[in-house]
Structure 1
Amino acid sequence: MELLLETVALYSLKLAYETEGHSPILRDDPLMGSCDREVFELLIRRGDVAGIHGEIGRCLNLALEAIGRMDAVLGRELGRLAAEFGAAETVEGLYAPAIILRDYLRDVL
C-alpha cells in the first residue's frame, strides 16, 4: 500500500513540475518531501488516515493546479477521484481509490 501511495504522489508531482527536456522527477527527488514510502509506511502502521489524506491531498492539489483546476475536463475528473479518495475512512478503504488515482494520473502523464 505504501508503494501505491508513493506512486500516486510521484505521478502528481510529475504532472505539476516535470517539464519536457528537463531531468525527470524520481522517487528520491527532494520534491517528494514527506511523500516517500517510509512516511506512508509509518502513517499506515499508525492507521493515520487523516495524515495520508493530507500528504496525498497536497500532491493532488498541485497536480490539479497544473491541469487547470476544476475548469478543465481533466481537472474535474481528477477532483472527483480525489474526493473519492478523501472520503475513505480506513486504511483499507484507501486502496481502491488509490489504484484508480494512480492509473488516471499515469494516463494523463
Structure 2
Amino acid sequence: MELLLETVALYSLKLAYETEGHSPILRDDHLMADYEREVFGLLVRRGDVVGIKGKIQRCLGLALEAVGGVDTVLGNELQRLTAELHTAQTTEQFRAPLSALKDYLKDIQ
C-alpha cells in the first residue's frame, strides 16, 4: 500500500513540476520528502485515512491543475478517478482507486 501511495504522489508531482529538458523528479527528490514510502507507511500503520487522503489529495490537486483543471478531458477523468478515492473508509479500500490513479497518471505523463 505504501509503495502505491508513493507512486501516485510521484506521478502527480512529476506531472505538475517536471519540465522538458530538466532533471526528472525521482523518489529521492526533495519534493517527495512529505510523500516518501516511510511517511505513508506510518499513516497506514496508524490507519489514518484522513491523513492519507489529505496528503494524496494535495498531490492530485497539483496534477489536476497541471492538466488544465476539470474542464479538460484529462482533468475530467482525473477528477472522476479522484472521486472514487474519497469514498474509501479504510486503508484497504484505497487499493483499487489508487491503482487506477497510478495507471492513469503514468499514461498521461
Q: Under TM normalisation by the shorter chain, which class is it?
A: over 0.9
Partner SS for 1:70: coil
Identity %: 69
Hey, what's the Cα distance between the residues in 2 that align with 1:108 and 1:69?
14
* Deviation of the 1:35 alpha carbon: 0.7
Aligned residues: 109
* Deviation of the 1:27 alpha carbon: 0.4
Which 4+ residue blocks in structure 1 deviate beyond 6 angstroms?
A: none
**Residue in 2 that maps onto 1:18:** 18
What stretches of structure 2 of length at least 5 have no aligned partner?
none
What stretches of structure 1 of length at least 5 have no aligned partner?
none
**Residue in 2 that maps onto 1:81:** 81
What do you get for the CA RMSD once the two structures are aligned? 0.6
**Residue in 1 that maps onto 2:45:** 45
* Deviation of the 1:33 alpha carbon: 2.8
**Residue in 1 that maps onto 2:101:** 101
The amino acid across from 1:6 in the alignment is: E
TM-score, normalised by the number of residues in structure 2: 0.98
Deviations 1:6-64 (A, max 9, x none): 00000000000000110000001111131110010000000001100000000000000
**Residue in 1 that maps onto 2:62:** 62
* Deviation of the 1:71 alpha carbon: 1.0
